[in-house]
Amino acid sequence: MIPFLSLKDLNNRFRAEIDARIKTILDKGWYLQGEENERFSKNFAAYCRAKGAVGVANGLDALNLIIRAYGFGPGDEIIVPANTFIATILAISENGCTPVLVEPDIETYCIDPEKIEAAITPKTKAVMVVHLYGQAVPMEKIWALQAKYGFKIIEDAAQAHGAIYQGRRTGNLGDAAGFSFYPGKNLGAMGDAGGVTTNDLDILEKVKAIGNYGSDRKYHHIYKGVNSRLDEIQAAVLDVKLAHLDADNARRREISKLYRERITNPRIILPKAYDEMAHVWHLFVIRCDDRDGLAAYLKERGIETNIHYPMPPHKQGAYAEWAERSYPITEKIHREVLSLPISPTMTDEEAQRVIDAVNMWNA
């Protein structure tokens, strides 16, 4: 069996170093808001080339806290791609804001910059870009729209740790960025974890305080806050793995290159990278007019696949009020996408087995 992703294999590469860091934490007996958090936050901010970073409990909280820190709420609109994972939209509606869905570019699967301006109203407070599947959103036109209209740019960088656009890394392409460190991410913890990066140190301090019960110092609460903190063990794990992130992303690019050069089945639509260095291939997502048939065929041959995502947010019961809406490009993508195995621990031989099986389907 070729697994879609083996977390055990991913983490075992760094087992000795992780064990040593965890032992240090256990010996100190300090589990929250300590030296490991400070170290990882500093290192991750430097990696993203942002002025500051803070760890939080998960990726959804990262986005939620950014919106709260900006003070956006009922009556405010935030533009967001229609084909994202539902967490992006949950963060908006959780703050009482109105998500305004915009169709993606069928080539990149990221929000279509050409469609954003038509969605802007006097109520627009932010555009939330999602660097989907590991490719940085082309930002040039969005930056121009921001200069024209004055909205904030919030990055959902949950799938794009290390992706680059015009020499700038995700986490430094907007006003603030939310990251997920869910175990399967390019930079993944060993449990739920998330982070925020920004060049606005005032917003950073607000995110820190809101996520710590609204407290700027112990027993002094200046906001109606929540409990969303990254624990010391997860911070240590992430700091160990951060040192290997660029090498892991480079290996993902190698696997992607094999797939894109050698998959020749005419029924398969391969993903496109507008810039090889812009993409970190968190997922390798193909499209096919018989996605389920292909997935079943690959499973029979010992190849595990996944679907990101089978149903768009506007068709989910959580947003039943949108059920009659139509987003044709989004719906087409969700009908056809299939994610093939890709990871830093995958061998060329395993990749070739996937390639051969995909090419043999319906041959």
d(CA 256, CA 279): 10
Kindly tell me if the per-residue pLDDT of 275 is higher than 90: no
In a domain, 1, yes or no: no
Q: Supply the DSSP symbol for 341.
A: P
Query: Angle at the Cα of 60 (from 56 to 65), degrees rounded to 5?
Result: 60
The pLDDT of residue 169: 97
Class of residue 232 by CB neighbours under 10 A (exposed 0-12, middle 13-18, buried 19+) = buried
Please give the mean pLDDT across all residues of the chain: 97
Total domain count for the chain? 2
Model confidence over 198-241: pLDDT tens digits?
999 999 999 999 999 999 988 999 999 999 999 999 999 999 99
Q: Considering the chain, what percentage of its residues have pLDDT values greater than 70?
A: 100
Helix pair 348-360, 291-300: axis angle to 10 deg: 130
Claim to verify: residue 141 and residue 188 sit in the same structural domain? yes
In this model, does residue 84 exceed pLDDT 90? yes
Q: Residues near 2 by Cβ (< 8 Å), separated by ≥ 6?
A: 302, 303, 304, 341, 346, 350, 353, 354
Question: What is the pLDDT confidence band of residue 277, given thresholds at 50, 70 and 90?
Answer: confident
Asked if 48 and 174 sit in the same domain, the reply is: yes
Are 259 and 137 members of one domain? Answer: no
Average pLDDT rounded to a whole number, residues 172-201 = 98
170 in any annotated domain: yes
165: cis peptide before it, omega within 30°? Answer: no
- Contact between 278 and 163 (Cβ < 8 Å): yes
Domain extent at residue 324: 245-360
Average pLDDT over residues 80-109: 97
| CATH code of the domain covering residue 70 | 3.40.640.10
Average pLDDT (158-178) is: 97
DSSP H or E stretch at residue 343: none
Q: Domain check: are 221 and 250 in the same one?
A: no
Tens of pLDDT along 333-352?
999 999 999 999 999 999 99
The pLDDT of 53-79, averaged and rounded, is 98
What pLDDT shows up at residue 273? 92
* DSSP secondary structure of 216-227: EETTEE-S---B
Residue type, 120: I
At residue 363 the predicted structure's pLDDT band, cuts being 50, 70 and 90, is low
81 with 224, same domain: the answer is yes
Given a cut of 90, is residue 321 above it in pLDDT?
yes
Answer with the one of 225, 242, 259 that is the final residue of a domain: 242
Contact (Cβ atoms closer than 8 angstroms) between residue 30 and residue 232? yes
pLDDT at 217: 87
pLDDT band at 260 (very low <50, low <70, confident <90, very high): very high
Reply yes or no on whether the pLDDT at 54 is more than 90: yes
N residues, the chain: 363
